[in-house]
Amino acid sequence: MKRPKNPLTQPIIPPSTPQQQSNTILRPISKKPRNILQNSQQLLTVNWTPLNAGKSELYLPLTFPTGQTFRWKQTGPLQYTGSIGSHLVSLKQLENHDVGYFCHNDGFASGEAEGALFDFLNMGISLSELWEEFRASDERFCQLAEYLEGARVLRQDPLECLIQFVCSSNNNIQRITKMVDFLSSKGRFLGSVEGFDFFEFPTLDRLALVSEAELREAGFGYRAKYIVGTVAALRAKPGGGVNWLASLRKLELQEAIDALCSLPGVGPKVAACIALFSLDQHHAIPVDTHV
């Protein structure tokens, strides 16, 4: 008869922490190729291309971590990294207050890639001119302007923006970011920067492969059915959901709001956020239901 093992000599496996469980749930499903950028030293030595936009036109800390997008990560002091279409881009506020950019993908010199960055940053709009106009019109704005300098509204891809803000309903930035990271992992892997994995945002067809049960397991709660329902509704649109969303840029604000509110999980506030941050409706004012 075998002697029973002494339990005191067996290795003790601690229970997984909530963070470890979350990391398991949110692991990327795409196979990772070699990291495009493997360590911080490379970021310190890259040649940043100046955007030729001073702090008055773009100040990164007042633009990216403010709740208008949840896909960009802080990868260094005054430095943020994210994907714009298929391009993995880092932006940095330089010592002269200009913004420098660097694309980790090959072929960023192409006009298409550079144009995508300028379009995403809404660089066709002069903030300094708007600020002067606002200062002349509102005394209160004059007092606040120095604290808001360089806070720029982005021009995001409408599908990305829509899905992000369906996740935002009755939620906080930390949880929204985890949900968006999970959905982003369904797209094509682009590379890793400073320990963060980055993906091209998934297409509607890829999003359609994600089940409500999978989303609920990942912590989406009641929003799971809205994500699935919205994706299905967009795929059913004549001409395709992406084209339908792009067409909303040509509508009057209320028409765009009404169209967005026809989608599952989209109410007036979420619709206003989508309109403001992706549909060129810069006079949209998102108002929380508690206000």
Q: Specify whether the CB–CB gap between 121 and 154 falls below 8 A.
A: yes
- Judged by average pLDDT, the poorest of 139-148, 157-166, 187-196, 255-264 is 139-148
**pLDDT at residue 10 tops 80:** no
Q: Average the pLDDT over 275-291 and give the result.
A: 91
Higher pLDDT, 17 or 254: 254
Of 280, 284, 283, residue with least CA distance to 270: 284
pLDDT of residue 289: 75
Please state, in angstroms and rounded to a whole number, the distance separating the CA atoms of residues 56 and 59.
7
- Judged by average pLDDT, the poorest of 22-26, 56-60, 180-184 is 22-26
Of 286, 279, 283, residue with least CA distance to 155: 279
Q: Specify whether the CB–CB gap between 76 and 32 falls below 8 A.
A: no
pLDDT tens string 195-250: 999 999 999 999 999 999 999 999 999 999 999 999 999 999 999 999 999 999 99
Q: What is the CA radius of gyration of the chain?
A: 22
pLDDT of residue 109: 55
pLDDT tens string 13-56: 344 444 444 333 333 444 454 444 444 435 667 889 999 999 99
The verdict on domain 36-148 having CATH code 3.20.20.150 is no
Give domain limits for the chain.
Answer: 36-148, 158-278
pLDDT of residue 14: 44
Answer yes or no: 269 catalytic: yes
Please state, in angstroms and rounded to a whole number, the distance separating the CA atoms of residues 290 and 154.
25
State the fold for domain 158-278.
Answer: Endonuclease III; domain 1 (1.10.340)
In which band, very low, low, confident or very high, does the pLDDT at 110 lie, cut at 50, 70 and 90?
low
Indicate if 158-278 has the same CATH topology as 36-148: no
Name the active-site residue from 55, 225, 237, 269: 269
**pLDDT at residue 162 tops 80:** yes
